[in-house]
Amino acid sequence: MCGRFARHRDRKSYARALGVPVEGLPDDDPAWKPAYNVCPGTEIPVVRQLRGEPARFARLWWGLLPNWAKDPKAGNRHVNARAETAAEKPSFGRLLQNRRCLVPADAYYEWKAVPGGKAPYCFRRVDGAPFFFAALWDAWQSFDGMQELETFVTFTVAPNRLAARVHERMPVIVRPEDHAAWLDPSLRDTSRIAHVLATYPDGELAAYPVDPAVSRPAASGAGLIEATGPALEDTTAR
C-alpha cells in the first residue's frame, strides 16, 4: 500500500505537470507549504473537475468517508483501494463514474520487511519530475446539514519490478497522457478509463533507503527524502 508521500513543489510546478488548465488554491495558500511526510487523515491538495467546470485544485482529506456513512468517526476510512476490484465495491464503483481526482506528489515511501523490523524506501521518478496518484473523492454531509467533509482514497496495484523488491503493492501513478481523461466527469463509461489503473512502467522509477524517522507521522523536513544508502538496482534493462 501507499500510506506516506512527499509533496514539496509549488503550485505552478504541478499545474505544468498536469498538462491541462487548472484553477483554484492560489500560490500563497497554506496548502502549498512543502510536506515531506504526508499521512492519511490530513487535508491536502488534489485536482478534480466538476461537470461543466475546469479542473481545480482543492483541499480534501485523505481517507474516504462515503456519503452514506452515519458518523464520520465510526470505523476506519479507506486510505487505499485495490485497483483490480474497485469497480465491484459499493464504496468505489459509483465514484469511478464521475468522482475521479488526482493527487500531486514528488515521492512516495514504502517499507520493506527486514530482519528485526521494516526499512523505509523512497520512490521517485527517474527524471525527478512530479507525478499524480489516481484517486476517488466523495462529499459527506451530516443529517442536520451542519457538518460537511470532502475526502478521497488512492489506488494501489501490483508492483513493477523495482517496487516489488520492497513491497507487494504500489500506488497507481497516472501517465501524463491520461490526466485529462481521468479528470473528465462526463466520461462515465469506466471501461474507457480502466487502463489508467495499471502498474507504472518498469525503468521509470528510482528507489533508495531513507531515514527510519519517516515512520513517525510527526517527522518532517527535507531530510526525509534524502538517501541514507545506495539506490536499489533496477534490473529492468537486463
Q: pLDDT digit string (tens) for 126-167?
A: 999 999 999 999 998 776 666 788 999 999 999 999 999 999
Q: Which of 237, 166, 179, 178 is nearest to 204 (CA)?
A: 237
Query: Which residues are catalytic, by number?
Result: 2, 110
Q: Give the amino acid at 213.
A: A
Rounded to two decimals, what is the model's pTM?
A: 0.94
3-class DSSP assignment, residue 145: coil
Note the residue count of the chain. 238
4-237 has which CATH code?
3.90.1680.10
Q: Which of 3, 173, 151, 155 is nearest to 77 (CA)?
A: 151
Q: Which of 223, 234, 206 is nearest to 122 (CA)?
A: 206
Q: What is the mean pLDDT of the chain?
A: 92
Give the pLDDT mean for 192-199: 95
